[in-house]
Structure formats: structure tokens, C-alpha cells
Structure 1
Amino acid sequence: MDTRRLRFLLELSRHGSMRAVADVLGTTTSTVSQQMAVLAREAGAPLLEPDGRRVRLTPAGRRLAEHAVTILAAVEAARADLDPHAEPAGTVRVAGFATAVRRSVLPAAARLAVEHPQVELRISEYEPHEAFAALLADDVDLALTYDYDFAPANADPAVTMSPLWTSRWSLAVPAADAAAERGEDTLAVFAAFHDHGWIVNSRNSADEDVVRRLASMAGFTPRVTHRADSLELVEDLIATGPAPAVGLLPADRQTKPGVALLPLAAPEVRQRAFACTRRGREVWPPLALVLGLLVR
């Protein structure tokens, strides 16, 4: 198969219309249509089917598009091997949670703009399970995810996970309720707030899994009263919410007045961040460059 035709197929899987593919690749819609017809004959299976006034990929077309990513990445890697001084170029689609975007992606983007201007980042904010699903669907090239040591994510053999960082988390409580000395025994700290409402993440279950697991070890079932994705909103609910509530926050966070952080050291609660790629695709030079910046 001609790799140029695979590029047409891959772009069609990403953009959904022949006109969009023609715009991206600088050609005409008739050329796109002709190349797709030739590719279907080469593949020995229909790759497109009508979808109203547009077209969509058949199951065979979707499978071939998945292979096209790996094939084209291998071709790029081969070219880079033959010309090690070649400048990486291309668009890398990144999906990740807000903290990872701020902490890792934006500094990397700033370096790319200066040192590798031909590599472009397209950034989407997603919670870990959303980013992971987008990665498996080939909607993004790189997914930034997290889990907790008390609620580890399930490994997927199709994905390579590169560790980024680990951070300690604390229990955030109303400042007025934080005066009593409890030490850093995590279960004792949890037990002391068993009658408070508990705040968990509204879009990701890992935080709730940690809360419920530690509460169970401390001998109670937490009463979840609020669900919030924003850490700022978690603070607001603790400081000025309708009833006393507590929740997990990063241990190094500078909280607003009215919120106190209680250490959790025995056992610690650690959040672990990862950069995830489809296995084998990390050799594509633009993606390898971005991944290297993030991991470093």
C-alpha cells in the first residue's frame, strides 16, 4: 500500500469529511476520493460507506486507520534514523487533567515554540478516564492521567505508561475544626471527621475510591454530600458550604482562609501522574520529543 494513501485515510478518520482532508493536505476533494478508491482496491475491502451527505469509515476502514498510525509513525522513525539531524515536525494531540496541563504541558509548549517550532500541540482538558478513552480511540496521541497508590489504575497492554511525578495529598477540613492535635495517623484523622460530609470528584472515581477505602479501614462509611471537579470549588464548599464538609487536596496547596490541611502520613496518600501513549507509537519523532520533555 502507498503510505500517501494511508495518510489520506488517517486524516479522514480524524476529520470526518473529504473536504476537510483536502484542506489539510492541500489537494482537492476529487483527489481524496480517487485515492481512497484505490486504497480500498488495494486493501480488498470497502473502507467507506455513505452517512447522509458525508461518508464514514467502515469497520475495516477503522482498523486500517489504526494500522496507518503505526505504519506512518514507523516511516517517520525510519526517516529520522536515516537523517538524525532532521527537525521533528507535526501536530501532537494531548489530553490531560488540568494540573498536568499547567505543570507539564504548558512549559513543554513554551520550549517547543522556541526550540522546535514545527511541532504543534493541540491540548484538551480531560479527566483521566476520558483521556484514556480518547487515546484508545486514537482521538489523541498522548494522554495525561493519574491514579492513587490506594486506588491504582488498571493496566492496559495496548498502552505504555511513563511516570511523571508523585505528590502527597492531605485532608482538607474547615479551619475551625482543625485545632485538635491528631498527629499524622491517617486513619485517626479520617475517623475524627466521620460525621462530616465528604467531597469527592464529580468526573473521576479514583478520589472517591481512596476516601471510601480509608474510611472503611477507619471503621465508618463516608457520607458523600458534594461532588466537585474543581479544587477551588472543593475549598469553597469546605470554607463556606451549607454544612461542615471535608475532602482531599494536594498537601502543598496554598489554601484560602477557612480551610486547613491535615497531614496524612501513616499511611500516606500519594497521587501518581502518568504520560500514556499507544504502545509502539512513542517512536514517532514529534511524539517522542514531547514525551521526552514531559518525562524530564
Structure 2
Amino acid sequence: MFELRRLRLLHELAQRGTIAAVAQALAYSPSTISQQLSQLEREAGVALLAPDGRRVRLTAHGETLAAYAARALDADEEIRGELEDTRLGIAPVRLAVLQTAARALVPAALTLLAERTPGLRVEISELPPEEGLFELGARGFDLAIAEQYPGLTRPHRSALDRDLLGVDPIRLATARAIGPLADLAEHAWVMEPRGTAAREWAMQQCRAAGFEPDVRFELADLSGHAELIAAGHAVGLLPDLLWAGGAPPVHLSALPGDPAREIFTAARRSSRNRPGIRSVREALADAFVARRV
């Protein structure tokens, strides 16, 4: 019989690519990871890893066992979820959340959970959507709040279950009323870092308007975007969730087509029926609706 703990290490290696990355994610030393994987090789009776420069890669046998490991971990989550039906709160819910949802939705959702399921522990980390979804798939989190921009697609992850919370309008943000998007070719822009869906979408909007934006400022923190824009140093594209019920310090104008991003929760299909995860999802959905009332 294979030990589930060692199978998870192989699964993590298949997801993350290096032993160092697995060690960092699971808070083990690289030597411990290597020792456990060597033990798994002895149990399997075949080579699972092969040298690849200064790293290692999975052999064909390793890839086969890693795929089995994913199924075994899913089965483990499913049975734990069924057992948890009788003891809500037995396991905490680890939530990865994007910045705007952390401000606009999480406080209200936690208030609802404190009333509805006071024994449930929720642990929250703020992560960019791309990282949050990856870590969810790698079992670093149980639930993630992420975003989908209009016209952009994400890699399809069949192991994840999505549940739409709602749509969040995106508007042109300037210090004062200075004209439509097409008139801002000569202005400095603030955008999220390269590689994010938000950055790619914003670049597409500017190009569709006929210009390549002068991205002078790259910030992951959207409140920093708002401050730069309010001070007159840049213009940008910002979602309504950022204001979290407060008055925006910038002038907001509609964009062509009135675009909006989708805000959704994602969970692994193997754990989506856990009572704790269902409770958190319901509270987040109610918080999203309540913010509009």
C-alpha cells in the first residue's frame, strides 16, 4: 500500500516542478522531501524521478503514479467531506482571496458565518487570482475567490468547480473628467503587473481604442492605483468593488460596451460538498448581494 502523505509529495512535485518549491509550499526541508520520495520509489519498485540538470523530472512511471496520487487525494477529500457532515467545523476552511473581494466581501461574509456557523474556523490569505487558483489546485487552499475578465479565458481546470458570485463593472478612472478612453493616449497609466489577467485585459482595451498605453506605474495594490490617479499622476481602469461602499476619490467614466468582470468562487470538485466550504460560499454569495442593497 502507498502512504497518502508520500503520494501527496509526488503530486505536489508534478504541480510545482521542483523539490525546492514543494518544500517551501509544505514547510518541509528539501532533504525531507527527497527522502520521502526515495521511500516512495522503493515502495513502487520503479524509478519515479530522473535527473534533469540540477533538478529532477518525473519518469513515465512517476507521471502515472502522480495521476493516481491526484485521484487518491480526491477520494480522501470526498470521504472526509462526508464524515464532516456530522461535525461541522472539524476542519478549517482555507480561503485565497483577491484584494478587492478581501475588502468588499470578506468582512460581511465573516459576520454572517459568525451568526450561522460559529464553530467554523476560516483562514484567509490575500493572493492574486492566478496564484490563488493554482494553489487551490495544488491543495494549498480549500476555496478561492477569483475573477474572469470579459473576452479573456483561463486554462480549463476540470478538477475545479466554479460558482459565480456576480459581476463587477469596470470603469475608466481619472482625476477629473478629461474625455473618453480614446483621448488618453498621451497620459501616464497605472496597471497591475505583467502576467495578470487584469493587465492583459487593460492593454487590450487601450489597443482597441487605438493606442499603446504608456504604463509608467505597475502596482498590485489597487488602492495604490486610486491614490496615484486621484493625485493626477496617472489614469487607469478600476473595478467598482474597490470602493467597498465608500465614495471613490477619482472621477469614473463608462467604458465602451460597459464591461464587467465576473467574480467567482472555486473549489476542488472532490471537496465542494464539505459543509464548511458550502457555508463559506453561501456567506460570500449573500455578502455580494447585500453590498448592493
For the criterion TM > 0.5, the same-fold answer is: yes
Aligned partner of 2:234 in structure 1 is 245
1:138-177 matches, within 5 Å, as 138-175=139-176
d(CA) in 1 for partners of 2:105 and 2:116? Answer: 16
Distance 1:295 1:10, change over 3 A: farther
Task: Describe the SS at the equivalent of 1:119.
Answer: coil
Deviations 1:172-231 (A, max 9, x none): 1122xx1x5x5xxxxxx1111111112111265222222222222222222211111222
Aligned partner of 2:248 in structure 1 is 255
Q: What is the aligned counterpart of 1:75 among 79, 104, 109?
A: 79
Rg (Cα) greater in structure: 1
Q: What is the aligned counterpart of 1:190 among 151, 172, 181?
A: 181
Whether the aligned pair in 2 keeps the contact of 1:237 and 1:245 (CA below 8 Å) is: yes
Distance 1:237 1:103, change over 3 A: closer
Distance 1:156 1:71, change over 3 A: closer
Alpha-carbon shift at residue 246 of structure 1 (Å): 0.8
Distance 1:87 1:99, change over 3 A: same
Count of residues in Structure 1 that have an aligned counterpart in Structure 2: 251
Q: What is the aligned counterpart of 1:202 among 193, 198, 202?
A: 193
Aligned partner of 1:87 in structure 2 is 88
1:89-168 matches, within 5 Å, as 89-168=90-169
d(CA) in 1 for partners of 2:83 and 2:101? Answer: 31
Task: Describe the SS at the equivalent of 1:132.
Answer: helix
Q: What is the aligned counterpart of 2:227 among 223, 233, 236?
A: 236
Distance 1:72 1:263, change over 3 A: same
d(CA) in 2 for partners of 1:280 and 1:236? Answer: 42
Whether the aligned pair in 1 keeps the contact of 2:185 and 2:213 (CA below 8 Å) is: yes
Distance 1:117 1:88, change over 3 A: same
Deviations 1:83-128 (A, max 9, x none): x665342111111112212333333333333432332111111001
Whether the aligned pair in 1 keeps the contact of 2:193 and 2:199 (CA below 8 Å) is: no
Whether the aligned pair in 2 keeps the contact of 1:197 and 1:225 (CA below 8 Å) is: yes
Alpha-carbon shift at residue 154 of structure 1 (Å): 3.3
Counterpart amino acid of residue 174 in structure 2: V
Q: Is the deviation greater in 148-157 or in 164-173?
A: 148-157
d(CA) in 1 for partners of 2:206 and 2:230? Answer: 22
d(CA) in 2 for partners of 1:158 and 1:71? Answer: 12
Q: What is the aligned counterpart of 2:216 among 200, 221, 225?
A: 225
1:33-72 matches, within 5 Å, as 66-72=70-76
**Can you give the 5+ residue segments of structure 1 that lack an aligned partner in the other structure?**
18-32, 48-58, 183-188
d(CA) in 2 for partners of 1:207 and 1:230? Answer: 12
Distance 1:110 1:45, change over 3 A: farther
Whether the aligned pair in 2 keeps the contact of 1:211 and 1:222 (CA below 8 Å) is: no
Whether the aligned pair in 1 keeps the contact of 2:93 and 2:122 (CA below 8 Å) is: yes
d(CA) in 1 for partners of 2:68 and 2:27? Answer: 16
d(CA) in 2 for partners of 1:200 and 1:166? Answer: 20
d(CA) in 2 for partners of 1:135 and 1:271? Answer: 21
Deviations 1:29-53 (A, max 9, x none): xxxx9xxx99x96x77899xxxxxx
TM-score using structure 1 length: 0.69
Q: What is the aligned counterpart of 1:278 among 243, 250, 268?
A: 268
d(CA) in 1 for partners of 2:69 and 2:122? Answer: 21
Counterpart amino acid of residue 284 in structure 2: L
Identity %: 27
TM-score using structure 2 length: 0.70
Alpha-carbon shift at residue 79 of structure 1 (Å): 3.5
d(CA) in 2 for partners of 1:155 and 1:8? Answer: 27
